[in-house]
Structure 1
Amino acid sequence: MKRSEHTSGYFSRDNRGVSEVIAFVLVFGIILSSVALLSMTGFQAMEDYQENEQLQNAERAMDALAENYNDVLQHSAIEERYAELSLREGTVSTGSDGTELTITIERSDGTSDIVKHDFDIGGDNTDSFSLGEFAYTTGSDTIAYDGGAVVRESEYGSAVVRQPHLKCSDDRAIISLVTIDTDERSIQSSDGLGFTMSVENRTAELYDEDIEDVRITVDSPTAETAWEDHILDRGNWDDGTCEDIEEVLVTVVEVSVDY
C-alpha cells in the first residue's frame, strides 16, 4: 500500500512537470506569434506612412514648382524659370504628349471657331492644344504639372492640387495655358534635381465679335477625370462651357523643360 502511494506521487510530479513544459511552450509560441504579427503590422503601417508622407511632400513640391512656373502666364517679361524637386526614388517624365484640350468658340449666328487654328503652336493639323508632360511618379501615384494645373492620379481616383488659370465671369472668359514641347525623357533618382523652364512661344488672342459661348473639351490618358470632374465643372464653368459671354481671351505659352 505504501509502495503504491509512493509510485503515484512520482507519476503526479511527472505529469505536472510535463504540463508545465507544455504550458511554457504554448505561452512562448503565443508570445512569438504576437511579436511577429505586431512586427509585420508595424512595418506595414510604417511603410504606408512613409509612402503617404512622400506623396504629400511631392504634392507640395509640385505645387511650389507650378506657382513658380506659372509666372510665365502672368508676366510677359519672364522668359525662364528654375525649380527643384526631391525625387526620393520617384521618376520624373517629360515629353510633348499628354492632356489635350480643344477650345471652341460658339457665335450667336450659329457658327463656331476652333481656337487652335489661330495659334502657331504644336502641329498644324490638329484641333487641340497638347499640354505636354511633366509628371512625377511613385508607385501607382502620379502628380503632374498639366497646363498650369497640378493634378494627382492614382488607382483610387483623382484630385486637383492646383487649379489652372481658367476664369468664367458674367461677360468674359479667360483661358491661360502652359504647353510643354520637349524631348521624351525620364529619370529616377534618390536625390534632388533642377528643372529649367524656358519660354519658346507666347501667343494671345481676343475674341469679341458675336460671341455666345466658349467650350473646352479634354482628352487625357491619365488626367481626364481630374479635368472633367474638378476643373471644367466648377465656378461658373458648366461641364466645360462658359455661357452668355461677350468676349474670350486665350493665352498660350509654349515652353521647353531642361534638366
Structure 2
Amino acid sequence: MRGCHDRAGGDPASDDRAVSDVLAFILVFAIILGSVALLSTIGFQTMTDYQEGEQVRTADRAMAALADNFNDVLRYDGVTAREGELSLRGGTVRTGSDGTRVNVSIDGEYIGNGLNTNSGGEFDLGRFEYGLDEDTVAYEGGGVIRADDGGSVFRERPRLRCDTGNHRAVVSLVAIQNPDDRSVQADGRIGLELTSVNRETVVREDVNKVSVNVTETEYETAWNGTFDRGGWEGDDIGGTCNPPGNDLTVVVTVLEGRIDY
C-alpha cells in the first residue's frame, strides 16, 4: 500500500523544479527580447547618426575639391568658367545673393569700383551651401566652411594673407551673384558650373594699411579664425594689415561669379 501511495502522490521536489524551469525560461526569453529591442533602437539610431555624419564628411571633401576647381576662375584671368559635380544623397543645395557681407579699404579708401557694392563699400559674398539636417557645408569667399549648431570653421580658407615680414597683403575673394534664391534636393549627383560675371583686381604699392571687415555673416567663428591665422590684427570680425613704415604692397582681387546647375 505504501508503494502505491508513493506513486500516486508524485515527487513535490520534481514539481518545484518544473515550475522553476518554466519561470527561468520565461525570464531568459524576456531578457533576450528586451535586449534585442533595446539594441535595435540604439543600434539603428547609432547607425543613422554615423551614416549622416559620414555623409556630411563626404560632402565636406567633395566641396573642397569643387572649391579648388572653381577657384581656377579666381586665380587665372584667362579662365572664365569651371564645372564640377556634387553628390547630394538626400541633402539640399542652396544658392543666392544674400550671404556674408565684406568691405575692403586701402588707406581708408573702399575698394569696389565696378563691383556690386553699396554706399559703405560692402559687397555680398552670396550663398552656395550644401545642407543636411543641422549640418552645412558652404563655399564662402573661395573657401569651404563646415557649420552646425556648435559653430563654424573654415576647412579650406579663402586667400586672405597679411605678411608683415615681407610687407605684402593679398586679398582674394569669390562673390556668388546668383540673382534669385534657388534650392534643389536629390539623391544623386548634380552638375555645377561657376561662370565669371565681373572681376576687379587692384594693385597698390607704398600703402600704409589695408583693412578687411566682415560686416554681416552667419559664420562668425569661421571668419574670426581665418583672420587670426592669416596674420591680420583686430578685435572685430576682420582685421588690418599695418606693418611698420609706409611700404606695404597690396593685391586685392574680387571675382563675381554665377553658379548654374
Q: TM-score, normalised by structure 2?
A: 0.88
Which of 229, 238, 244 pairs up with 1:234? 229
Greater Cα shift, 163-172 or 212-221: 212-221
- Aligned residues of 2:95 and 2:182 also touching (Cα < 8 A): yes
Deviations 1:41-85 (A, max 9, x none): 221221122112101110111001100000011110111111100
Cα pair 2:195 2:259 within 8 Å, conserved: yes
> Structure 1 stretches (4+) deviating beyond 6 angstroms?
3-8
| 1:206-258 C-alpha deviation (Å, 9 max, x unpaired) | 2335x2222222144421210112x1111422342222151211111111111
Distance in 2, matches of 1:122 and 1:53, equals 38
- AA at the equivalent of 1:80: A
Q: Which residue identity does 1:78 align to in structure 2?
A: V
Partner SS for 1:233: helix
Instruction: State the distance in 2 between where 1:121 and 1:241 align.
Output: 22
- What is aligned with 1:248? 250
- TM-score, length-scaled by structure 1: 0.89
Among 172, 175, 192, which residue is 1:176 paired with? 172
Alignment gaps of 5+ in structure 1:
107-111
Match of 2:111 in 1: 115
Q: What per-residue deviation string (whole Å, max 9, x for no partner) do you get for residues 160-196 of structure 1?
A: 1111111222311111111111021001000111111
Percentage identity across paired residues of the two chains: 44
Cα distance in 1 between the residues matched to 2:231 and 2:22: 76
- Alignment of 1:78 with 2:75, yes or no, is no
SS of 1:195 mapped into structure 2? strand
Task: Confirm or deny: 8 A CA contact 2:117 2:124 kept in the other structure.
Answer: no
C-alpha distance in 2 between matches for 1:102 and 1:7: 102
- Shift in Å, 1:40: 2.2
- CA 1:124 to 1:217, structure 2 compared with 1: closer, same or farther past 3 Å? closer
State the match for 2:259 in structure 1.
Answer: 257
**Alignment pair present for 1:201 and 2:198:** yes
- 1:166 pairs with one of 144, 160, 167: 160
Q: Which amino acid aligns with 1:206?
A: V
Matches within 5 A, 1:15-30: 15-30=16-31
